[in-house]
Chains A and B, each alone.
Chain A
Amino acid sequence: MTINKPVLSTVEGMTIRIGGEAGDGVESSGAGFCKALARGGLHVFGLSDYYSRIRGGHNFYSVRVSDQPLYSHEEPVHLLLAMTEETIPHHRDKIVEGGAIVYDSKLPVSPEQLSGNGVQLLPIPLSDIAKEKAGIVLARNTVALGVAAGLTGFDLEPMESVIRQNFARKGQAVVDGNLAALVAGYREGQKYAADFPFKLERIPDAPPRMVLNGTEAFSLGALAGGCRFVAGYPMTPGSLVLHWMAAHSARYGVVLKHTEDEIAAINMAIGAAHMGARALVPTSGGGFSLMVEALGLAGMTETPVVIYNAQRPGPSTGLPTRQEQGDLLFMLYASQGEFPRFLLAPGTHEECFVTGWRAFNLAEKYQTPALALSDHYLAVAIRTLDLDAFDFEAVEIDRGDLLSEAELDALDGEYLRYRITDPSTGLRTSSGVSPRAVPGHPRAVYVAAGNEHDESGSITEEPEMRTAQVEKRQRKLIGMAGEMSGPRRYGPQGAEVTFVSWGSTYGPLREAVDRLNAEESGRASLLHFVDLWPFPTEAVTAALKSARRVVAVEVNATAQLATLIRANTGRAVDGTILKYDGRPFTPECIVSFEL
């Protein structure tokens, strides 16, 4: 879609984009550049874009950088580093006036193709310098980054530190070669610096910051929250959490199993949780589809388990490496029959961390599955965060009503895993949650069953007990609802338009709101939903009561959040901004739809 009226960013900054083929090191150099800029005290937002292939095709990495915090990537590009000829037509139209395209002078690019726009063309012998200094053509991306530093005037020192770190395991010769390539690129860039208007200045006293993506944030939260069993089958982008956990498993005492398939993964997690481990299953939509039957087993046996679905475009194989928010209603209703579940959709890296540990507490307190929704954009996009952005102190490990050995020793009468009646009062336990015992203690001998069961776990088909157990499970929803928060507002009260969104749309939408309000005060606000189920009906109703025009912004074709809002509050949205081309929103895109 075309951007008709560019509404400028409220944040001073620029985007440097590196493009090439899969195998060109586009991702590693882009991420490395982000880290270097962060070490230089700047704020970054880095985003990779890649095709589902190992070699060839067109991949690019966008490095957005500013002296102020960033929450999104953006449309305009100020500097394009092209490793391949193909890169240029892909991104030429995004380059701002005064921007530049740095490309390997070896490429058969004719300047006539690129005329106009006030864009400078900088052919530089990237691969020759790479071969000369580092002995390998692949190092041309390092040369290009050096050029970028030279053009923008960015201090080389942080970039050198990243190169030393990244190439350390390949030996000193490789480190030295890349450092030389970087410096040579820098000198080339300096030649054109006077005519390149966009500058990057290191902030000398800036505090050290973390640079990380949603995968790392969620994984850290889960680890902090006591996750010690992970079973999963690789599926992009859920496998990123599987890899992180695998890399940390030996050191942090996590049992991780790459299973034969997703059905095995969810069932193993249920088995592990049954024995008392905090179990996680990372996956994506297709994998979750295979887990649906077992999800019901967890609900029926009241086994806590956390499933993390990093969504990608469907249906079916869809677009494996791209962005969509298409699984909300699916996860809400998945599996036959009815049973309670939590559905959480963190939208920022900070929320990913909190969700990571909170999901386990919720699952164990209410003895029911907790489903966390992320997506490709959130899983891979990196951002600078202050060191104290993740509150590790606030992390709690709350196992709910899990009977200790001492409590089991002192137990009066038979242990009933699915007890409905409170023994001290003879009344139904209002919470629907029964005291939980894990196998191993002589008093805790019971059979968990996917069949309908009585309080002891024995199979029953009797209508009274069936009714009682259904109501017991449903009763949990009351307590669960009390754990849910309503949407968070960003922007002024009484704005002309209130955007509603969920998950990672937050970042671009927040910046869009800022831009709209900069143009016209009081124009826009947003309501950001993280807690999706149980649906915080009262809070949402109240939040929407004073909203004037409500517009749902979602990366899907059917406005799933809007559907959920209407189903639970009766309030229909007044409009929708939907994107389903496999790419995430940018602030410009949202603003353009709105205006």
Chain B
Amino acid sequence: MVTRKDFDSPESPTWCTGCGNYGILNAVKMALAEQDIAPHQVVIFTGIGCGSKLPHYMKVSGFHTIHGRALAVATGARLANHGLKIMTVHGDGDGYGMGLGHMLHAIRRNIGIVDVVQNNRVYGLTKGQYSPTSDPGMRTPTSPEGAIDRPVPPLALAITAGATFVARGYPGELRHLVWLIGEALQHPGYALVDVLQPCVTFNRPGSYDFYNPRVYKLEEADHDPTDKTAAWELAYEWGERIPIGIFYRAEGVPTYEEQVPALKARPLVKQPLEKLRPEQIEALRAELI
């Protein structure tokens, strides 16, 4: 039986007091434990940002990669060993900015990766620049007159691109977030869990005080997660009411890895690495004569 403690590490996070990442870290640990996944049975790939330091604050297999590329590294890892659970945990700058392209391709592949995005709608580690999900008008070091770009709508984008599991969570609703990540871990293909992450230092308007009165759970609101159109419309709901929960979920869509001929029998790294046999060498030579 795996418990949450199995994931505890003595290393203290460097996050600010009150950072939403503490809740996300707890939720990840609890969700893995509840799914009976041990630290060596999952690999967490992160990018660059405050949140991407998460695996260092856990006892878990991890790979702290480069900005925007967590999904790319994770995809290669999943193809090499689909016997392990593969997760990415990264921020909105990483996942929805630099890495936006990789997200769309991970979605169309329906590759078995749980993608948790710590969406604090600002760049934290680099000291407060606006991000792909910031509101227009936000004044930051790179937008002193107010951000001009309209924000990326990550959930709507994911639904449109064909994602088979699209959800949003909030560390202020910790049990719910644990449940969402658990559902994502059970989902066979690509699963997006966008997380509203308060940033107390660089995005004070987007704090727990902002989200608490606004968030409501789709599970309590009569939403049918197989209804793609409804999900898409809800993805744009923002303001006085902000939905969290599973927006959309599709069953039975084949994953990428289950369609790769070389992976039919077992994971790639479980296949013995041997020299070519004489008859294989003969066949290869014969192609060239």
Would A439 and B65 be within 8 Å (CB), given that A255-B262, A276-B80 are in contact? Answer: no
Query: Bound state CA distance, A253 and B262, in angstroms?
Result: 5
Q: Is B61 close to A, CB under 8 A?
A: yes
Contacting residues, chain B, for A209 (C-beta < 8 A): 289
Pick the contact of B73 from A274, A392, A440 — CB < 8 Å? A274
**Distance (whole angstroms) from the CB of A153 to the closest CB of chain B:** 24
Q: Is A444 an interface residue (CB 8 A)?
A: yes
* Residue from B274, B280, B284 whose CB has the most chain A CB atoms within 10 Å: B284
* Residue numbers in B under 8 Å from A226 (CB-CB): 273-275
Q: CB distance B63 to A447 under 8 Å?
A: yes
Residues of A within 8 Å of B55, CB to CB, are: 447
Q: How far does the alpha carbon of A212 sit from the alpha carbon of B289 in the complex, in Å?
A: 9
Interface membership of A553, Cβ < 8 A: no
CB–CB B271/A261 < 8 A: no
Enumerate chain A residues within 8 angstroms of B102, measured Cβ to Cβ.
260, 264
Distance in angstroms from A307 CB to nearest chain B CB is 14
Q: How far is the CA of A513 from the CA of B41 in the complex (A)?
A: 60
Are B65 and A211 neighbours in the complex by a CB distance under 8 Å?
no
Contact in complex: A444, B40 (CB < 8 Å): yes
A448 to B64, CA, bound (A): 6
In the assembled complex, the CB of B197 is this many whole angstroms from the nearest CB of chain A, namely: 20
A242 → B minimal CB distance (Å): 15
Chain B residue contacts of A293, Cβ below 8 A: 66
The reply to whether B53 and A459 form a contact with Cβ atoms under 8 Å apart is yes
Q: Which of B60, B63, B77, B83 has the most CB of A within 10 A?
A: B63
Assess whether B262 is in contact with A447, with CB atoms less than 8 Å apart.
Answer: no
Please tell me the size bucket of the interface on A. Answer: 35 or more
How many angstroms between the C-alpha atoms of A249 and B268 in the bound complex?
12
Residue B45 contacts which of A254, A271, A399 (CB distance < 8 angstroms)?
Answer: A271
- Bitwise, B96-135 to A at CB < 8 A (1) or not (0) is 0000011001000000000000000000000000000000
A278, B280: Cα distance in complex, Å: 19
In the complex, A319→B273 CA distance in Å? Answer: 39
Q: Does residue B288 face the partner (Cβ distance < 8 Å to A)?
A: yes
A438 within 8 A of B: yes
Contacts of B288 in A (CB 8 A): 210-212, 216
- Take A208-B289, A260-B101, A439-B84 as given contacts and tell me if A447 and B76 are in contact as well, using a CB distance cutoff of 8 Å: no
User: How far apart are the CA atoms of A231 and B76 in the complex, in Å?
Assistant: 8
Instruction: Report B146 CB to chain A, min CB distance, Å.
Output: 31
CB neighbours (8 Å) of A252 from chain B are: 280
B80-A446 in contact (CB<8A): no
Interface string of A214-235 (1 = CB under 8 A from B): 0010001001101011010000
Q: Render B34-58 as a binary contact track against A, CB cut-off 8 A, 1 for contact.
A: 0000111101010010000101100
- Judging by beta carbons under 8 Å apart, are B59 and A445 in contact? yes
Closest partner residue, chain A, to B289 (CB atom): A208
Q: For the complex, give the distance between the alpha carbons of A255 and B39 in Å.
A: 26
Q: How far is the CA of A270 from the CA of B43 in the complex (A)?
A: 14
Cβ-defined partner of B43 (8 Å) among A255, A297, A439 = A439
B273 touches A278 (CB 8 A): yes
Are B289 and A274 in contact, CB atoms less than 8 angstroms apart?
no
CB distance from A34 to the nearest CB of B (A): 11
**B152 at interface, CB cutoff 8 A:** no
* Cβ-defined contact, B72 with A271, below 8 A: yes
Other-chain contact of A228, B64, B273, B280 (Cβ < 8 Å): B273
* Cβ contact of A301, chosen from B60, B63, B274, cutoff 8 A: B63
In the assembled complex, which residues on chain B have CB atoms less than 8 Å from the CB atom of A447?
A: 55-56, 60-64
Most buried by A among B64, B101, B271: B64
**Pairwise interchain contact B262-A275, C-beta atoms closer than 8 A:** no
Question: Closest CB of chain B to A234's CB: distance in Å?
Answer: 16
Total contacts A-B at CB 8 Å: 183
B276 within 8 A of A: yes
Please judge, given known A-B contacts A249-B261, A253-B262, whether A229 and B73 are in contact too, CB under 8 Å: no
Residues of A within 8 A of B73 (CB): 267-268, 270-271, 274
Min distance, Cβ B246 to any Cβ of chain A, angstroms: 27
Contact B40 A445 (CB under 8 A): yes
Interchain CB contact under 8 A, B79 and A438: no
Inter-subunit contact A224/B64 (CB<8 Å)? no
Q: How far is the CB of B169 from chain A (nearest CB, A)?
A: 24
A residues less than 8 Å from B59 (CB atoms): 445
B-facing residues in A333-352 (Cβ within 8 Å): none
Residues of A within 8 A of B220 (CB): none
Identify the closest chain A residue to B73 (Cβ): A271
A294 touches B66 (CB 8 A): yes
Docked Cα-Cα span, A174 to B63, in Å, equals 56
Interface centre among B60, B72, B274 (most CB of A within 10 A): B72
Q: Could you tell me which residues of chain B, from 135 to 183, have a CB within 8 Å of some CB in chain A?
A: none
Is A442 among interface residues, defined by CB-CB distance under 8 A?
yes
| A137 CB-CB contact with B under 8 Å | no
Inter-chain CA distance A252–B279, complex, in Å, is 12
A253 touches B281 (CB 8 A): no
Q: In chain A, what residue has the closest Cβ to B59?
A: A445
Contacts of A433-465 to chain B: CB distance below 8 A = 438-451, 457-459
Among B76, B79, B83, B260, which residue has its beta carbon within 8 angstroms of that of A267? B76
A255 CA / B79 CA spacing, docked (Å):
7
Pair A255/B80 contact, Cβ less than 8 Å: yes
B285 surroundings in chain A (CB, below 8 A): 210, 387
**CB distance B56 to A449 under 8 Å?**
yes
Q: How close is B216's CB to chain A, nearest CB, in angstroms? A: 36
Residues of B contacting A249 with CB < 8 Å? 261-262
Contact with A along B252-289 (1 / 0, CB 8 A): 00000000111100001101011110001100110011
Is the CB of A571 closer than 8 A to any CB of chain B?
A: no
B44 to A, closest residue via Cβ? A447
Contact residue among B80, B261, B268, B276 (Cβ-Cβ distance under 8 Å from A250): B261
- Tell me if B81 counts as interface (CB < 8 A to partner A): yes
Partner of B269, one of A210, A254, A438: A438
B residues in contact with A208, CB < 8 Å: 289
Task: Known A255-B79, A458-B56; judge A275-B261 contact (CB<8 A).
Answer: no
Closest to A209 in B: B289
Contacts of A244-260 to chain B: CB distance below 8 A = 249-250, 252-255, 257, 259-260
A53 CB → nearest B CB, Å: 29
Cβ–Cβ < 8 Å partners of B251 in chain A: none
Most buried by A among B53, B78, B105, B289: B289
Cα A449 to Cα B20 in complex, Å, equals: 23
B69 touches A267 (CB 8 A): yes
Instruction: Output the least CB separation between B179 and chain A (Å).
Output: 26
Determine if B271 and A228 form an interchain contact, defined as CB atoms under 8 angstroms apart: yes
CA distance A252 to B276 in the complex (A): 9
Partner of A276, one of B48, B105, B269, B276: B269
Pick the contact of B39 from A271, A445, A448 — CB < 8 Å? A445
Residues from chain A with a CB closer than 8 A to the CB of B289 are 38-39, 208-211, 387
Bound-state Cα–Cα, A447 to B11, Å: 13
> Closest B-chain residue to A395, C-beta based?
B275
Any chain A CB within 8 A of the CB of B75?
yes
A565 interface contact, C-beta 8 A: no
B74 within 8 A of A: yes
Would A263 and B40 count as touching, CB distance under 8 A? no
Q: Which residues of B contact A182 (CB under 8 A)?
A: none
A10, B275: Cα distance in complex, Å: 40
The residue from A212, A271, A450 contacting B76, defined by CB atoms under 8 A apart = A271
- Nearest Cβ in chain A — how far from B288, in angstroms? 4
Given contacts A220-B284, A257-B75, 4 further A-B contacts (CB under 8 A): A210-B289, A271-B77, A275-B84, A297-B65
Write 12 A-B pairs (CB below 8 A) sorted by A numbering.
A39-B289, A224-B276, A224-B281, A255-B263, A257-B79, A271-B72, A271-B77, A297-B66, A442-B38, A444-B40, A450-B48, A459-B56
Q: Nearest 6 pairs between A and B by C-beta?
A: A271-B76, A268-B76, A267-B72, A271-B77, A447-B62, A272-B80
